[in-house]
Chain A
Amino acid sequence: MRLTIGLVALGLWSVCAAGPASTQPYLPGLDDLIQRGELKVGMFTYDASPMVTTGKNGEATGYDAEIAATIAKALGVKLTIVRTEDTAQGVIDQVARGDVDIGVSYLTRTVDRAREVLFTRPYLTQDLMLLVNRVHAAQHGGKCPTAEEFVAELRDVPVGVAKGSAYAARLVAIDPQADLTPFDTFPEMMDALRAGTIVHSFQGDLVARHYLADNPSMRVFAMLCDIPEWKENIAIAVNGNEQALVPFLDVLLDQIHITTEGDTVSLTTEPWAY
């Protein structure tokens, strides 16, 4: 199925076209950031299209980059994207250390991570997905595994996950002896799935569908299996010292929606609300 990315960009710039009202006082905490004049945003180095991608000149692109730009614009400060960490957990640690103010990097909101950083409300809620090697599936009943079957097979069936991701942490929490293989990039994981080195890859709906739409040949070798019982919330991680940012970002995220329908991913805003 062809992928269509519907970008309704009306809002992203117009949302904050006027910038912050200079005559109004700011909340304590926000004031310091405004005075500093710079918002440092952490993003991981690998691509998780369509959320985190890299442009032709090496610049950060994708929906998360657009959300980060919107936030900086709303605060009236300069945006600096820091891409030095190669995993999602690395970005969380980066935010926790205060190397960056916030992390906008397709970050899953988990209880473990909430011990390190603050989280905004989710700007995306999605199902978790398995991509299953079709040959293995054909030789084992030909059906998508249920959540229970997937968990029961974790020790016997090799599963690919993004390195340092919430997916890896979650599966280890379920079964410490799970046969997990971490991958630096999603394409590497797909190559392993196609070759049969791993039988399942475990990831969010958005990235899985987007990859299949961009790489239709992978559909021949991999079967997309939804685990409807398992969902994840994607949110912005905020440094603990920037508490005032969280309610501000929550209000801003009220107007930003990422929706999926089949293979169509859309980023929309409600500019009238501003």
Chain B
Amino acid sequence: MILSKVADPKVIFVSTIVGGVFGWLVPAAGLVLKPLGELYIAALSISIVPLMMTALVSGVGRMLRQPSLRKSFPRFAIVYLLTLLVPATIAIVTGLLLEPGANLSSDAVARLGQQLAATTTTHTAAGLSDFLIAIIPSNIFQDLSAENFAAIVIFSLLLGIGLGVAEAPATDQTLSVMHSLYVAFSRIFEWIMKGLAIGLFCLMAGVAATVDVTMFESLISFIGAFYAAGITLFVIYAFLLLYFGRVGGLRSLAEVRQPLTVSFLANNPFIAVRPAIDTLVNRFHVQDDEADAVLPFGIIASQHGQIINFILLTMFLANVYGIQLSAGQLATLAIGGTIGGVAVVGEGPALAPALTPILGSVGVPPDLGAVVLTTTEQIVGPMVSLLTVFSALTLVLLGRGAPSRQQSLKPTEAHTEAKP
């Protein structure tokens, strides 16, 4: 009873806010709590990689073995490509309207300069070939240990497709084993999720104790523009959800509350994989194999928040340097930001190699990009995570086939079994 209470999204939200206030008021205690929060996030990560892997393999494999579901693949591909146009467009329009970085105060520029001086690493641009090499799972065991999510997803997709089309006698049993493992990992994940409220309280207390508010002030125009664009995208998703959710009006929004809250508060979209799949299957009556196959892919390859982040950050820096971007450069930025941001892996300064070629494509100096990424990670990251999960949910709902009446009324056995 108590455990179910602390897993409630409202309790999670309140505990996170209280943790933030506590860390801000008592920084010393916040610093003590921070490692506990990080420990909790590490514990949550125990089953994330195997969960994603088994969900993808069993989902894709089982989809391909059912002729009716196999037809869904082209539809998902079209929806995926079309939805990529949305975040880039919103980011460009927001950047042109709000002009983040223009008229930055001299104090704000000086603070950025100090931060730049403290940044000693040189960020080398990662080209397309580097990106492709990084995501090809040439050694899956190495990729698993390094949590190279993009490579893991590609490997799992290929393994799922292989099992889906294989004619070997034990293929169905193998997929069943994969599905059983998926259910088992889901259970582990749910046990750990029971402590989410406490874990996020500790994490947020630590974040509030260490956060540099003065640097946020320097970047307020960028952060404001990012959130304006992010909220616009959120509203568009919400409308799509109302229309395609098929559960009736505003209830659709209430149904996605838990995965979105979890991803935002934990600043981690992968943590929301399981809650999001459950929501799709149990609340929106999506066929479980479709949800298992498409949602993890969407979490990796549909990072619409990161696209907005990269494009607006580039426009912010262009304004700081007084660079007027032409229409051609804006188009280049939209394409580059989409390709660079949609499937990037990492956070904060780890994103710099992906950002550098985007900045370079429109002639914006790259070094300050890493500084802004690092500084704003704690405040931009949660919205990026939320938008990633929301875009993945929307992708599944827009691309799904029409559910049968029986499927829409009764969740599948695996997901019923896995429910807490």
Contact = CB atoms under 8 A, between A and B. Distances in A.
B336 to A, nearest CB: 14
Contacts of A212: 117
A139 B366 CA distance: 11
Given A1-B118, A217-B106, A220-B320, A138 B360 contact: yes
Contacts of A223: 365, 367
Interface string B311-322: 000000000111
A213 B114 CA distance: 8
Given A1-B117, A212-B117, A220 B359 contact: no
A57 to B, nearest CB: 28
Given A142-B365, A217-B106, A135 B113 contact: no
Contacts of B360: 138, 142
Interface in A1-40: 1
B192 interface: no
B113 A219 contact: yes
A180 to B, nearest CB: 24
A220 B363 contact: no
A137 interface: yes
Nearest to A216: B113
A231 B109 CA distance: 32
Contacts of B366: 138, 142
Contacts, number: 52
A49 B286 CA distance: 70
Interface string B97-135: 000000000100111111011100000000000000000
21 contacts: A1-B117, A134-B321, A134-B365, A135-B322, A135-B323, A137-B365, A138-B359, A138-B360, A138-B365, A139-B363, A142-B365, A142-B366, A215-B110, A216-B114, A217-B109, A217-B112, A218-B113, A219-B114, A219-B117, A220-B109, A220-B368
A197 to B, nearest CB: 13
Given A134-B321, A221-B321, A216 B117 contact: yes
Tier of interface size on chain A: 10 to 19
A220 B113 contact: yes
A219 B116 contact: yes
Contacts of A215: 110, 113
Interface in B55-114: 106, 109-114
Nearest to B109: A217
A86 to B, nearest CB: 28
A135 B117 contact: no
B364 interface: yes
A218 B112 CA distance: 10
Contacts of A142: 360, 365-366
A234 B110 CA distance: 31
Contacts of A263: 117
A217 B368 CA distance: 12
Nearest to B124: A142
A68 B380 CA distance: 55
Given A220-B112, A223-B367, 15 more contacts: A1-B117, A134-B367, A135-B322, A135-B323, A135-B365, A137-B365, A138-B364, A215-B110, A215-B113, A216-B111, A217-B106, A217-B110, A217-B112, A219-B117, A221-B321
A138 B114 CA distance: 20
B109 A138 contact: no
Nearest to B106: A217
Contacts of A138: 359-360, 363-366
A130 B101 CA distance: 27
A75 B351 CA distance: 62
10 nearest A-B pairs in the assembled complex, by CB-CB distance: A216-B113, A134-B365, A219-B113, A217-B109, A138-B365, A217-B110, A139-B363, A1-B117, A216-B114, A217-B113
A216 B365 contact: no
A190 to B, nearest CB: 12
A215 B112 CA distance: 11
Given A1-B117, A219-B116, A220-B320, A135 B106 contact: no
A215 B116 CA distance: 12
Interface string A192-215: 000000000000000000001101
* Chain B CB within 10 A, most for which of A134, A215, A218: A134
A187 to B, nearest CB: 14
Name the residue among B116, B320, B365, B367 with the largest chain A CB count within 10 angstroms. B365
A138 B323 CA distance: 12
A239 B391 CA distance: 78
Interface string B233-262: 000000000000000000000000000000
Interface in A138-157: 138-139, 142
Contacts of B364: 135, 138
A216 B321 contact: no
Nearest to B125: A142
Interface string B365-379: 111100000000000
A262 to B, nearest CB: 10
Nearest to A134: B365
Contacts of A1: 117-118
Interface string A213-243: 1011111110100000000000000000000
Contacts of B116: 216, 219-220
A222 B365 CA distance: 10
Contacts of B112: 217, 220
Contacts of B320: 220
Residue of A135, A215, A219, A221 contacting most chain B CB atoms (<10 Å): A219
A218 B109 CA distance: 8
Contacts of A135: 321-323, 363-365
A217 B112 CA distance: 7
A208 to B, nearest CB: 13
Nearest to A1: B117
Nearest to A220: B113
A144 to B, nearest CB: 10
